[in-house]
Structure 1
Amino acid sequence: MFVLPEVAVTAQQSVAFLIFVAPLCIYVAWNDLRAMKIPTWSTDALAIIFVVVGIFVMPFSDYLWRYAHFAVVLVLAIIANMIGMMGAGDSKFLASAAPFVALSDVTLVFYLLGAGMLAGLVVHRIAKRIPAIRNMVPDWKSWDEKRRFPMGFPMGAVLIVYLARPLF
């Protein structure tokens, strides 16, 4: 049986962040599947959630250091966007999500992202071939994409799973 390792997020942080982050991640996933876009306001909102909630639930030094996570991931994500590895919305989402992840948990989150991207791709590709599912949301742009994939779908799920880990 596979069990996720412990994470640096506390139960208090988990609950406080998830109240705001989970609905936003679900919206991001839905919108990326529907329109192949992650709106800037949603990535801004994700960053603001960390700024506002984080100050109350994290030790101040940890809270400040997490802004370095934002900066590093933003630079790497911009480069990935420039070379065509991912869209701009995906890049902004990763950067805005980075402060939620403790440095000690980065390896775990990379594994979760890898597994999440693969699972998301498989689920999406299977779902689009099932007429009953496809007919429920026939206007989704992601159904007809050949080359691009709505990465907001698995990235949002991974952030929720990571933040929820202390609760199970």
Structure 2
Amino acid sequence: MLGTTPQTASLVFLLLLAPVAFYVCWTDLRWMKIRNRTGLLVLAIFAVAGGLVLPPEIWAWRWLNAVVVLAIGFFLTVAAGVGAGDAKYAAAVAPFVAPAHAALLLPIFAAFLLGAFAAHRGLRALPVVRAATPDWVSWTRADFPMGLAISGTIVTYLALTAFPEQAAALLNR
């Protein structure tokens, strides 16, 4: 471990994970797919960077997050039709979240889920957007590209935990 603070760990995770999260948004919008190799890349980022910026016992226990979220995700895939790629991606980003922050993460996810759904449905109704992205599968499918909400959630969570003083100042205005 490099002797970092939790804020520094979150910043490192944010810088490494944000480009992958944006890629997930694009692939999910364009093809309605979150590729397995993308989830494996996310896990590799946590394996290497997490091992450098987190205490070993915290790093090791965070892997349990992935197992629990994967189990829940597979249940939701079978019972509620959640996409398998969405479930695997959610499990891959789960180790980046401190278990004590679950109460913070759930409202963020709910907000992103509602916002992303409304934005996606609104934008796909606009002819100019459809004309600019005519080959995007998500415009014609009934299901929703959940990678948008998962990516927005993890990036926002990491930003809030990387800059807690600034986040608190914004919330207290």
Q: Scaled by the length of structure 1, what TM-score is found?
A: 0.90
Q: Between Structure 1 and Structure 2, how many residues are aligned?
A: 159
Among candidates 145, 149, 155, match of residue 144 of structure 2: 149
Per-residue CA distance 1:53-93 (angstroms, 9 max, x = gap): 00111111111110111111111111111224311100100
Equivalent residue number for residue 99 of structure 2: 103
Pick the structure with more helix per residue: 2
User: Unmatched 5+ residue regions in structure 2?
Assistant: 167-173
Provide the C-alpha distance between the structure 2 equivalents of 1:158 and 1:135, rounded to a whole number of angstroms: 28
Shift in Å, 1:11: 2.4
Aligned residues: CA RMSD: 1.2
What does residue range 18-29 of structure 1 map to in structure 2 within 5 Å? 18-29=14-25
- Match in the other structure for 1:77: 73
Deviates more, 1:116-125 or 1:15-24: 15-24
Give the distance between the partners of 1:71 and 1:41, measured in 2 at CA: 18
C-alpha distance in structure 2 between counterparts of 1:140 and 1:65, whole Å: 39
Give the share of equivalent positions with the same residue, in percent. Answer: 35
CA distance in 2, matches of 1:139, 1:98: 31
